[in-house]
Amino acid sequence: MAVSCVHLEADAYLVCLTHALSTEREEVMGLLIGEVDERKVSHVSAVIMLRRSDKQADRVEISPEQLSDASTKAEDLAKELQRPMRVLGWYHSHPHITVWPSHVDVRTQASYQLMDPAFIGLIFSVFNEDKNTKQNRVQVTSFQSVSRGGDYGPLDYDRIEIPLHVVPSTGIGRACLESLVNLPKILSLEEQEAYQNTEEHDLDLLTKIHNAAVYTKSECHIMDVMGGPLLQSLENRLEMNKIRMEQLKHRKEEIKKRMKALSAT
pLDDT at 90 over 80: yes
User: Smallest Cα–Cα separation from 105: which of 27, 50, 34?
Assistant: 27
pLDDT at 45: 92
Q: DSSP H helical segments within 30-172, as ranges?
A: 64-81, 103-115
Residues 50, 11: one domain?
A: yes
Choosing from 116, 132, 167, the residue where a domain stops is: 167
Residues 155, 250: one domain?
A: no
Question: Quick one: DSSP state of residue 227?
Answer: I
- Rounded Cα distance, 160 and 229, in Å: 37
pLDDT at 241 over 80: yes
Residues 163, 178: one domain?
A: no
pLDDT at 151: 59
Residues 186, 95: one domain?
A: no
Q: How many domains does the chain have?
A: 2
Lowest mean pLDDT among 60-74, 85-99, 143-157, 213-227: 143-157
User: Smallest Cα–Cα separation from 123: which of 110, 106, 146, 107?
Assistant: 106
Residues 6+ apart with CB under 8 A from 182: 49
Residues 151, 179: one domain?
A: no
Residues 52, 156: one domain?
A: yes
Lowest mean pLDDT among 96-100, 135-139, 250-254: 135-139
Residues 145, 257: one domain?
A: no
134: left (phi over 0), alpha (psi -120 to 50) or beta: left
Residues 200, 107: one domain?
A: no
pLDDT at 162: 95
Start-to-end Cα distance in the chain: 64
Query: Quick one: average pLDDT of 233-250?
Result: 88
Per-residue pLDDT tens over the stretch 175-232: 888 888 889 888 898 888 888 888 877 888 899 899 999 999 988 888 888 788 778 8
What is the span of the domain harbouring residue 149? Answer: 5-167
Instruction: For 186-209, give one letter per residue: b (16+ CB within 10 A) or e.
Output: bbbebbeebbeeeeeeeeeeeeee
Residues 67, 140: one domain?
A: yes
Residues 87, 102: one domain?
A: yes
pLDDT at 125: 95
User: pTM (2 decimals)?
Assistant: 0.81
pLDDT band of residue 32 (cuts 50, 70, 90) is very high
User: Smallest Cα–Cα separation from 86: which of 53, 123, 119?
Assistant: 119
Residues 48, 152: one domain?
A: yes
Strand order in the sheet with 86-95: 157-161, 136-147, 120-129, 86-95, 29-36, 41-49, 5-9, 164-167
Lowest mean pLDDT among 57-71, 157-171, 173-187, 235-249: 57-71
